[in-house]
Amino acid sequence: QKVSVEVLEHLEHLALVDFRDAEGVERLQKAIQFADQLHGVNTEGVEPMDSVLEDRWCLYLREDDVTEGNCTKELLENAREKVEEYFVAPPGNIPLPKLEERETFLQGS
């Protein structure tokens, strides 16, 4: 079954990446179809595997000691917009324009 426009729009919102054209949507359809082959595998009683190192318990927590830092200048170097020691962002808490108002391929769907 095809992915609904609601879900497509939801994905664009979550990913903050757009389906540029019909090809983009088709690409997703094919990806889902491909992934559906997983359902042919019997995984009864099988635990999901997060890490191949699960037996080694190597994901440890270390002491909360400061070992490096004080590199504000370096960290700010690659940012395009900054003021003093701040990264500057456009105003937040403004939702992405609705489907009808946005420049997206989905508008035509």
Partner 1 sequence: KDGLRSQVSAALKEGRVTPTELCQRCLALIRSTKFLNAYITVAEETALKQAEESEERYKRGQALGILDGIPIAVKDNFNTAGIETTCASNMLKGYISPYNATVVQKLLDQGAVLLGKTNLDEFAMGSGSTDGIFGPVRNPWSYSQQYKEKSVPKSHSEDKESNWVITGGSSGGSAAAVSSFTCFAALGSDTGGSTRNPAAHCGVVGLKPTYGLISRHGLIPLVNSMDVPGILTRCVDDAAVLLGSLAGHDPKDSTTIQDDFKPFELPNLTDVSKLSIGIPKEYHAPGLSSEILALWSKAADLFKNAGAKVVEVSLPHTRYSIVCYHVLCTAEVASNMARFDGLEYGHRSDMKDSTESMYAATRREGFNDVVRGRILSGNYFLLKQNYEKYFVKAQKVRRLIANDFVKVFRSGVDILLTPTTLSDAAPYTEFIQEDNRTRSAQDDILTQAANMAGLPAINVPTALSERGLPVGLQFIGRSFQEKQLLTVAKWFEKQVQFPVIQLEEVKRHDNDVFQHQKSASIS
The strand pair at 86-87 and 82-83 is best described as antiparallel
Q: Please identify which residue in 60, 63, 84, 100 interacts with partner 1, judged by CB under 8 A.
A: 60
**Residue placing its CB nearer to partner 1 in the complex, 62 or 84:** 62
Here's the x/- map for partner 1, 15-54, by CB under 8 A: it reads as xxxxxx--xx--xx-xxx-xx-xxx-x-x--xxxxxxxx-
DSSP string, 31-98: HHHHHGGGGGS--TTPPP-S-TTGGGT----------S---HHHHHHT-SSEETTEE-----S-PPPP
- Partnered with residue 85 across adjacent β-strands are none
Point out which residues bind partner 1 (CB under 8 A): 3, 7, 10-12, 14-20, 23-24, 27-28, 30-32, 34-35, 37-39, 41, 43, 46-53, 56, 58-60, 62, 71, 74-75, 77-81, 87, 89-92, 94-97
